[in-house]
């Protein structure tokens, strides 16, 4: 049975995939390797490529090809791929090429300057680039909203979490806001009776690097198909065949980098295990960013806070960093489940983390919808940090609104994915425990493979085969159900 | 005065330049960073980009644009740029896109496999990929010859050394073959009376890395616009705004990596100092590969073997590697000018180096012209090594014909540039000494800047402003004159 239109589309997406490969690796390089004077040329080169990819993804021939492919005798997988192809085209067509290039350039410039502005607490300097980023992001939101019929913020969020709407986020986060502050207080009160020794540094970067590699091996990362390097803001980039994770080392706090690496390893294994036969086609992509975060948080939080994982990690810690009282077994497990409101999102424990996300969600939504301006962010940040976590950040931009690179890179609508991901991760582990009642015993025996196998079968290997609610139902019997997250926190911290 | 056709061409070359940036960085990454399972996808991505760049460089609109630009009121620089644009188009049009992609794929596969095949001395395995590389290189030579009217080998060499012909190489190398073997014997006999202590290792990679960085700083490399990393075969890649040099470390022999780094720094500074106002246009490119090698060899050989440079390098060596008898001042200077026939080209001293090049030139020319096949290389290699340097390489493929990656990457016609570059370097230093009679005194006082300034003014800043003979005349008063190379060797080694 001949499918000429589908085959043509298939070839075009293969081409997009290959060219995107170069973009992915050079973007990673920009953060991990590039010397400062290379930035202007790199930004121009990436903007050029962004424009080219956009040109290819909006080729006027696509409309007709998609319509003709629809009528061809396709199997279910090809139909799902066609659905994703349509999504890619819709999103690409919503934006004029000029805007795409302007976004790439402005975001890249702002991110690069941020690297030195953040340590210098230079909000005024940052603002100069950031205003342009906000202006372009609003223009982007308007274009996406016009083409999709969604609201401004929904239109941005839909790029990362297709199908998710602010109304549902409001519902889920609204519920969270009700019980989270009390739960934090309860856990703090309980942990106050369990004093925990802090590790005493300094911890040499080289030893931390070896420890990070050891943890990645424990978690099954394939070093023949990926690397770990350093960058100002840890991320997981590259391509499925060559995953580029980054971390950063603080000599005074090794747990931050270690657990950051565990987090990124979750992203990395998802990418490394996306369905190989479909690679190069949209159906092979990770389903969504909340799903992606559900993998990193399955690793960092669900596994990372599990007593069995602490027991597996501890020998590696001792081997690289030596012995010290904080590395006593029960104390070490406590360190990994310590709950304490802090300024920095990426250092937050899983109980206070949602507060950081709620704050960002509320600010970025107001910013995109035009209720506030970039200048208003620090005051709002202070106010919400005080309200949600009781912390004062006045004048401390670098540990306040400049701590994340997301906004500077034009990533608006992404933050909710972290907490949605935490909820999905809790839902996956609840499903695993139903399927494997002996899961905790198996983890205690060091068999992490039980978790990886479940994730591979139910999440990783599925790519974008199903839309998110359907994927969740097939994996766990139901669509997103935040009750599992609450139950998880109560069982781990208050049982 | 309006120049619409020229402006259009200018924009197109800017685009080519930006997209090539991504290709340059990912190619460097492929050698310096990429894990093995990433190679297939990377090769496909680079081949796709190669095809795309080829598509852009052969756009049918270019012919008309070039003709129209010719009639526009251009200044001299624009006219020179137009000349280079025409050269780019001619070279690109000579090759069908399918061949360009096939070359990229075959070369990239062969290079990647070579990395493990060379240490395993696996000539049979290498041959499997290499036969296809040779087949395609011959096809390429035929296409280039058809379009240029040049001979097969000339057509390949013209890509690296525009205007150079095998007849001139024969003349220059023929002369060299006459006096070089005697000169090697004379120098060996003289040095036999000056026993030299060899440094005793092991030398840790980290200390060698620090030493390499120190040497690069001494040589004025701009670390804000470049890096030094590691790869199996040292090279200088990246882009002028972000130069990516590589080296490799042997724990038993630090001089190999150190002087390799000095060599690549010459390439690096040429790239870093290409004319900024023209960047993105063909006129801003390095003039030719012999000119490029004249820079690396100005650094590695002209400076590297100069007693003043040895005196500047020694404190850095002692600082990183400690004290030992071989680091006595006169002994160290002798180490840098030791002449000894050896198997490995990149480890060769400047006196025996041309023998390695002559051997490769003769073999690759016969291979491309179809007088021999890939299978015949090892026997010919043995024969010529014995004849030129008195060394036996039978069965030792890894230190024989598999030592270089050039052929595996499809780089035929490049090797002569090394020795032509050595000749140009000698010619530049002769010109410097005429212009600055106190040059050696200034070098002895640590003023390397005198050399850098001359090179910047006469070579680096000129980009492709002039064709090679004209550039050489403007810089040194004459076109290529090999007599300076002979005079240099005699004065340094036999005076």
Which tens digits make up the pLDDT trace of B363-388? 999 999 999 999 999 999 999 999 99
Query: What is the number of CB-based contacts under 8 A between chain A and chain B?
Result: 105
Window from A230-234, A397-401, B42-46, B74-78 with minimum mean pLDDT:
A230-234
- Are the beta carbons of B134 and B366 closer than 8 angstroms? no
- Are the beta carbons of B17 and B279 closer than 8 angstroms? yes
| Cα of B177 to nearest chain A Cα, Å | 44
- Identify residues of A whose CB sits under 8 angstroms from chain B CBs: 15, 18-19, 21-23, 25-26, 29, 33-38, 40-42, 44-49, 52, 222-227, 239, 241-242, 279
Torsion, Cα of B468, B470, B475, B480 (10° steps): 60
- Are the beta carbons of A366 and A153 closer than 8 angstroms? no
Respond yes or no: is residue A264 known to be catalytic.
yes
Going across the sheet that includes B226-230, the strands are B226-230, B242-247, B236-239
DSSP type of residue B198: P
Cβ separation of A241 and B22 shorter than 8 Å? no
Tell whether the model's pLDDT for residue B108 goes beyond 90.
no
- Are the beta carbons of B441 and B198 closer than 8 angstroms? no
> In terms of pLDDT, which residue wins out, B287 or B234?
B287
Q: What is the pLDDT of residue B414?
A: 96
Cβ separation of A41 and B239 shorter than 8 Å? yes
- Are the beta carbons of B70 and B122 closer than 8 angstroms? no
List, as one string, the DSSP characters of A159-203.
Answer: HHSTT--HHHHHHHHHHHHHHHHHHHHHHHHHHHTS--PPP----
Spatial separation of the C-alpha atoms in residues A435 and A432, rounded to whole Å: 5
SS3 A243: strand
Residue with tokens 């800017």: B14
Spatial separation of the C-alpha atoms in residues A141 and A128, rounded to whole Å: 21
* Residue tagged active-site, from A84, A264, A293, A350: A264
Copy the structure tokens of residue B153. Answer: 């080998």
Among candidates B26, B33, B279 on the partner chain, residue whose Cβ is nearest the Cβ of A22 = B26
Tally of residues, chain A: 495
Mean pLDDT of chain B, nearest integer: 96
Q: What is the pLDDT of residue B207?
A: 97
- Are the beta carbons of A296 and A420 closer than 8 angstroms? no
Which tens digits make up the pLDDT trace of B1-40? 799 999 999 999 999 999 999 999 999 999 999 999 999 9
Checking ipTM against 0.85, whether it exceeds it is yes
C-alpha dist (Å) from residue B394 to B53, B263, B377, B380: 42, 30, 11, 10
- Are the beta carbons of B419 and B175 closer than 8 angstroms? no
Tell whether the model's pLDDT for residue A347 goes beyond 90.
no
Spatial separation of the C-alpha atoms in residues B367 and B361, rounded to whole Å: 10
Which tens digits make up the pLDDT trace of B159-177? 999 999 999 999 999 999 9
Cβ separation of B242 and A37 shorter than 8 Å? yes
- Buried b or exposed e, range A4-15, using 16+ CB within 10 angstroms: ebbeebbebbeb
- Global pTM? 0.91
Tell whether the model's pLDDT for residue B346 goes beyond 90.
no
Copy the structure tokens of residue B375. Answer: 């299978």
DSSP type of residue B83: H
Copy the structure tokens of residue B477. Answer: 């008063």
Nearest to B111 by CA among B231, B245, B23, B267: B231
Give chain B positions within 8 Å (CB) of A279.
41
Tell whether the model's pLDDT for residue A1 goes beyond 80.
no
Spatial separation of the C-alpha atoms in residues A144 and B416, rounded to whole Å: 57
Local confidence band at A298 (pLDDT 50, 70, 90 cut-offs)? very high
Spatial separation of the C-alpha atoms in residues A420 and A467, rounded to whole Å: 15
Local confidence band at B92 (pLDDT 50, 70, 90 cut-offs)? confident
Tell whether the model's pLDDT for residue A100 goes beyond 90.
no
Give me the phi and psi of A14, to 5 degrees please: -60, -45
Tally of residues, chain B: 495
């Amino acid at each position: 049975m001949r499918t000429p239109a589908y085959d043509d589309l298939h070839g075009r997406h293969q081409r997009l995939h290959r060219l995107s490969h170069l973009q992915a690796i050079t973007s990673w390089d920009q953060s991990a390797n590039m010397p400062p004077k290379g930035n202007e040329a790199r930004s121009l080169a990436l903007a050029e490529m962004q424009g080219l990819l956009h040109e290819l993804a909006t080729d006027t021939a696509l409309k007709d090809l998609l319509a003709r492919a629809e009528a061809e005798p396709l199997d279910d997988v090809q139909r799902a791929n066609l659905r994703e192809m349509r999504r890619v085209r819709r999103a690409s067509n919503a934006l004029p090429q000029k805007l795409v290039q302007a976004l790439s350039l402005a975001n890249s410039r702002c991110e690069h300057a941020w690297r030195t502005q953040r340590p210098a607490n230079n909000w005024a300097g940052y603002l100069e680039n950031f205003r342009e980023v906000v202006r372009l992001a609003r223009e982007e939101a308007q274009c996406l909203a016009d083409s999709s019929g969604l609201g401004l913020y929904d239109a941005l969020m839909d790029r990362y979490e297709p199908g998710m709407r602010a109304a549902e986020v409001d519902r889920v986060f609204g519920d969270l806001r009700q019980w989270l502050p009390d739960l934090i207080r309860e856990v703090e009160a309980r942990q106050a009776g369990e004093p925990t020794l802090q590790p005493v540094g300094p911890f040499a970067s080289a030893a931390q690097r070896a420890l990070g590699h050891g943890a990645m091996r424990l978690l099954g990362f394939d070093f023949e198909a990926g690397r770990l390097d350093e960058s100002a803001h840890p991320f997981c980039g590259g391509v499925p065949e060559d995953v580029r994770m980054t971390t950063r080392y603080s000599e005074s706090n090794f747990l931050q980098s270690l657990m950051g690496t565990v987090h990124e390893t979750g992203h990395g294994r998802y990418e490394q295990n996306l369905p190989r036969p479909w690679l190069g086609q949209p159906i092979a992509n990770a389903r969504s960013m909340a799903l992606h975060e559900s993998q990193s948080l399955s690793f960092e939080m669900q596994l990372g806070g599990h007593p069995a994982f602490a027991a597996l990690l501890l020998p590696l810690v001792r081997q690289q960093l030596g012995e010290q009282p904080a590395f006593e077994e029960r104390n070490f497990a406590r360190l990994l489940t310590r709950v304490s409101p802090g300024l920095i999102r990426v250092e937050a424990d899983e109980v206070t983390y949602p507060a950081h996300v709620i704050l960002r969600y509320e600010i970025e939504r107001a910013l995109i919808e035009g209720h506030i301006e970039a200048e208003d962010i620090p005051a709002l940040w202070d106010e919400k940090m005080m309200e949600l976590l009781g912390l004062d950040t006045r004048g401390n931009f670098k540990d306040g609104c400049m701590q994340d690179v997301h906004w500077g890179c034009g990533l608006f609508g992404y933050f909710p994915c972290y907490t949605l991901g935490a909820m999905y991760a809790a839902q996956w582990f609840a499903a695993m425990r139903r399927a494997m009642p002996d899961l905790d015993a198996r983890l205690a025996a060091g068999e992490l493979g039980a978790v990886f196998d479940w994730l591979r079968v139910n999440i990783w290997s599925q790519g974008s085969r199903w839309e998110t609610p359907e994927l969740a139902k097939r994996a766990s019997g139901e669509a997103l159900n935040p009750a599992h997250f609450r139950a998880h926190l109560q069982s781990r911290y208050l049982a």
